[in-house]
Amino acid sequence: MTHDQSFTNQKFKLVGSRVNRPDGVDKVTGRAKYGADASAPGQLVALFLRSPHAHAKIKKLDTSKAEKLAGVKAVITSADLPDHTAGAQLDVLENCMARDRVLYDGHAVAAVAAIDKETAKKALKLIKVSYGKLPHVTDVDEAMRPGAPLVREDIFTRGVDPKPTEPSNVCKVSTFGHGDIEAGFDEADVIIEKSFKTEQTHQGYIEPHACLASVGPDGNGELWVTTQGHYTYRTVCAALLGMDMAKLKVTSSEIGGGFGGKTHVWIEPIALALSRKANRPVKAVMTRDEVFKASGPTCSTSMDIKIGAKKDGTITAGSAHIRYQDGAFRGQWGQLGAMTAFACYDLKNVQSVGYDVLVNRPKVAAYRAPSAPMAAFGVESTMDLVAEAIEMDPVTLRIKNAAKEGTRASYGPTYGPIGIGPTLEAAKNHPHMRAKLKKNQGRGMACGFWFNFGGQTCTDINISADGTVNLTLGTVDVGGSRASMSLICAEELGIPYDQVKANIADTSSLGHNDTTEGSRGTFSSGMATIFAAREAIEEMKERAAQTWDIPVEEVEWVEGEARAIGQKNDNLPPLTLKDIAARAAATGGPIAGHNEVVADGAGVSFASHICDVEVDPETGGTRIIRYTVIQDAGKAINPDYVEGQFQGGAAQGIGWALNEEYIYGDDGRLQNAGFLDYRIPVCSDLPFIDTEILEIPNPNHPYGIRGVGETSIVPPLAAIGNAVSNAAGVRMTHVPMSPPRILKAIEEAEA
Amino acid sequence: MTGTLVNTTVNGDAVQFACPTDESLMDSLRDRVGLTGVKEGCGTGDCGACSITLDGELVCSCLVLGVEANGRNIGTVEGLADGDKLHPLQEQFINHAALQCGICTPGFLVAAKALLDKNKNPTEEEIRYALAGNLCRCTGYDKIVRAVQAASKDLRKKK
């Protein structure tokens, strides 16, 4: 059955209220089970041997001594992992386990499964690897220079004409835009050109990757795993190991943070391979060091931004060339960055070019609105410089050029109703904007955009005999979505929130659901939940009609009960959901609602952030004094958790802007793979983070929902960059703006 | 495995386990006692997810050896509630949406309780510094601080 997904401006009883999450008690009592919290009888412990080199040939790999050690039940190298995908996913397999050469510090070369950790550690020491070191490159600009060490010899730049004949570290060039930028710059009174850099950061989820794998000789397998997408993990693991998808049951544990980093497989296929070889359950848990070195951080970037404007503030042209390092494996990060760079603005002439560049660093994974924060840092910093040059208030400049309904986006489509203008107006009118600043303090603001995704979704609703309801979802709950989905289900059925129990299904119990990424969870599972509930209601109306012996057309569903319409039915008292559920066995059996949908039409999302900082000119240290997030949610289903997404994204952005970075030595090795040296914001670093939720309905969702999870990390780098620049009196162009970089900038400005 | 026998008290109960002498108390509690509310975020004392109390003092259990627990009193998140009655901190964490993914929550609750046991009416700044050893990547700490403030008020009302 197809359903109309148009926005209907429905009046809500429950949606929009601040309810307690259904998994709250489990999570405050320690009962909730995460990736590393499951065990199986006879389980083995898996450990990985990882490369100490940034780039090297594996000349010899000898595991014979390790295999002979008492208590070792399986050893795996690439020799145990033939490519079952005809090359299609060979790069995924190669990242999980190096084949003929290692491509980054921390690249896995072997794994063992043993009866306990002690034995597994001993076994790793017995594996002999002979490496032949190769030249390496870890910096994105260095990697693009002629003569740079080649990370891979089989990469020829895509997206350029003519097709190159020589291999390159640039795997793709993506160009977006419209109009004539040269003509646009000719019209400008002021042109600002500036280059910027951002360093590599990690999502920093507190829970390391962890799984419990079990595969029998009959080809049946189970995987308990912390993931944002257990169906995707099933698809990928089954393909890599040559297993039948239906015979691999993947259960998503509670997930201790992902932010994009748990959308790809890392140790999981290897844990399954070890289990298959040993014919015993295998538990694999990454250390924090491994998480930093061998999961998927986000890109470092380098970029050149150029914006031209008339004195009245009209932007005549914008161009961006942004170079994203993808680690050692091909990605799409440059493409995404180029698409988002100018998405906030209504520009006649615009061009953005993204470069995907390989270096000897770990494979890059998504990190919350991937690629957008870096592009926004460059563009939004340059916007402030334009405002300064034409002596216009930065918010006014942005409002004047903001995209609106009907604007042709810089990446192609024409916008429907969008929130960039309203978030900017709200920022302009916010009391924060008028608060007084003290000595060494500065204020900055910036905007941000994210697409939001939809995708394949599948949901079940089962009505129990006592009238309570099981809502079975397939989108992993990364931050409270079971509460939102329960609210939606209860709203549609007309029953109290606490009569719905939401569960995340394993892959055997419900059809495919795409990964919870792209802020799609509430948008798409919300849509499937609405439609599934409406199917259940149709079924309950049928049952009521049957009970009353009247045509179903004479039954309506109001406030959780079936009512018979029309005077002739006046003698029929309403049948509540509970009444109908109790009689289900006699009226046709269990009552369920079900929906499968490809949720299209995810509404794009915009935010404006305001930030006050204080910079200590002696130390270069920066404190966030005040921070305000204003974002369009379309419709906030559970406002507490929408605010939480706004605050969390801002906090991650603050860490990225001021502290966090991957530091590589000349040897190509990561020097700060731990939370002591890679410092994420702690409680005492931050103030309360104010939020303002705007609700500009998404026309393509019955409730008007837009994704809210990611956009909040897009503006902070630029908002803080602008604030620090205003406080320190010197333009900051390199993120993170750590104390040494700020001091250096101040000293250079003074010199 | 060569194990050393450890006799200890966990959340008021006598507990006995054997562990290698180089095993962390975090691993002993998780793998031998079965208290998986003690979380491993880093194993190096930087994230606070494995926070417990040892004779009333807040510690990272990853920095203590299992054998050091012999004869000591251990408190974990599993011991915070009084039967079916949640501790005010647990209630307020839920009420204030002070958790998203929830992996850091046990450590925060144990650390916050250690603070409130010593300081019944902490300022915002005192709360922020007392919890600075616990990393949360989801919330930006805003709702966590508010939850601790609310719980502190509840506890003062009770007495």
**Separation of alpha carbons A60 and A478, rounded Å:** 42
**Separation of alpha carbons A267 and A97, rounded Å:** 9
Query: Hey, are the CB atoms on A688 and B105 less than 8 Å from each other?
Result: no
Q: How many CB pairs under 8 A join A and B?
A: 184
**Separation of alpha carbons A122 and B132, rounded Å:** 36
Query: Hey, are the CB atoms on B46 and A674 less than 8 Å from each other?
Result: yes
Distances (CA, A) of A374 to A76, A484, A621, A726, B24: 38, 31, 22, 20, 40
Q: Which pLDDT does position B158 carry in this prediction?
A: 83
On average, the pLDDT of chain B sits at 97
Query: Hey, are the CB atoms on A257 and B131 less than 8 Å from each other?
Result: no
Query: Hey, are the CB atoms on B132 and A683 less than 8 Å from each other?
Result: yes
Residue A479: its chain B contacts at CB < 8 A? Answer: 100-101, 138
Structure tokens at A226: 């912390």
Nearest chain A residue to B82, by CA? A29
Structure tokens at B74: 């251990």
Query: Over the stretch A367-396, which tens digit does the pLDDT of each residue have?
Result: 999 999 999 999 999 999 999 999 999 999
Residue B43: its chain A contacts at CB < 8 A? Answer: 287-288
Residue B100: its chain A contacts at CB < 8 A? Answer: 257, 478-480, 641, 644, 648
Across the interface, of B30, B76, B101, the residue whose CB is closest to A478 is B101
Structure tokens at A200: 């590599």
**Separation of alpha carbons B103 and B100, rounded Å:** 9
In DSSP notation, A500-534 reads EEEEEPPTTTS-----S-TT-IIIIIHHHHHHHHH
Cis preceding-peptide flag for A590 (omega within 30 of 0): no
Q: Which pLDDT does position B75 carry in this prediction?
A: 98
The ipTM is 0.98
Q: Is A400 helix (H, G, I), strand (E, B) or coil?
A: helix
pLDDT level of residue A222 (50, 70, 90 thresholds): very high
pLDDT level of residue A162 (50, 70, 90 thresholds): very high
Residue B81: its chain A contacts at CB < 8 A? Answer: 29
Give the E-state strand segments of A616-732 in sequence order. Answer: 622-632, 689-694
DSSP secondary structure letter of residue A27: H
Percent of chain A scored above 90 by pLDDT? 99
Query: Over the stretch A122-145, which tens digit does the pLDDT of each residue have?
Result: 999 999 999 999 999 999 999 999
Where are the domains positioned within chain A?
5-32+454-599
Q: Which pLDDT does position B2 carry in this prediction?
A: 78
Query: Hey, are the CB atoms on B44 and A676 less than 8 Å from each other?
Result: yes
Q: Which pLDDT does position A1 carry in this prediction?
A: 63
pLDDT level of residue A328 (50, 70, 90 thresholds): very high
Percent of chain A scored above 70 by pLDDT? 100
Residue A27: its chain B contacts at CB < 8 A? Answer: 99, 102, 105
What structural domains does chain B harbor?
Answer: 4-78 (3.10.20.30), 88-158 (1.10.150.120)
On average, the pLDDT of chain A sits at 97
Q: Strands A350-357 and B4-10: what pairing?
A: unpaired
Q: Which pLDDT does position A130 carry in this prediction?
A: 98
Contact A276, A254 (CB under 8 A): no
Q: Which pLDDT does position A164 carry in this prediction?
A: 95
Across the interface, of A206, A479, A681, the residue whose CB is closest to B41 is A206
Q: Which pLDDT does position A2 carry in this prediction?
A: 80
Contact A348, A188 (CB under 8 A): no
Distances (CA, A) of A61 to A129, A241, A471, A669, B18: 5, 22, 50, 21, 36
Residue A651: its chain B contacts at CB < 8 A? Answer: 137, 139-141
Domain spanning A5-32+454-599 has what CATH number?
A: 3.30.365.10
**Separation of alpha carbons B87 and A299, rounded Å:** 43
Query: Hey, are the CB atoms on A641 and B125 less than 8 Å from each other?
Result: no
For residue A386, the one-letter residue type is V
Q: Strands A469-473 and A500-504: what pairing?
A: parallel
Q: Which pLDDT does position B1 carry in this prediction?
A: 65
Query: Over the stretch B7-56, which tens digit does the pLDDT of each residue have?
Result: 999 999 999 999 999 999 999 999 999 999 999 999 999 999 999 999 99
Average pLDDT for A446-470: 97
**Separation of alpha carbons A231 and A214, rounded Å:** 17
Query: Over the stretch A40-88, which tens digit does the pLDDT of each residue have?
Result: 999 999 999 999 999 999 999 999 999 999 999 999 999 999 999 999 9
Residue B77: its chain A contacts at CB < 8 A? Answer: 28-30
Distances (CA, A) of A578 to A467, A559, A749: 4, 12, 73
Q: Which of B53, B80, B103 has the highest number of chain A CBs within 10 A, making it the mutation to test binding with A?
A: B103
Check whether A676 has a pLDDT greater than 90.
Answer: yes
Structure tokens at B104: 């850091």
Q: Which of A206, A212, A368, A522 has the highest number of chain B CBs within 10 A, making it the mutation to test binding with B?
A: A206
Query: Hey, are the CB atoms on A682 and B132 less than 8 Å from each other?
Result: yes
Q: Strands A190-198 and A301-309: what pairing?
A: antiparallel
Q: Is A26 helix (H, G, I), strand (E, B) or coil?
A: helix
Contact B74, B53 (CB under 8 A): yes
Structure tokens at B58: 């807040």
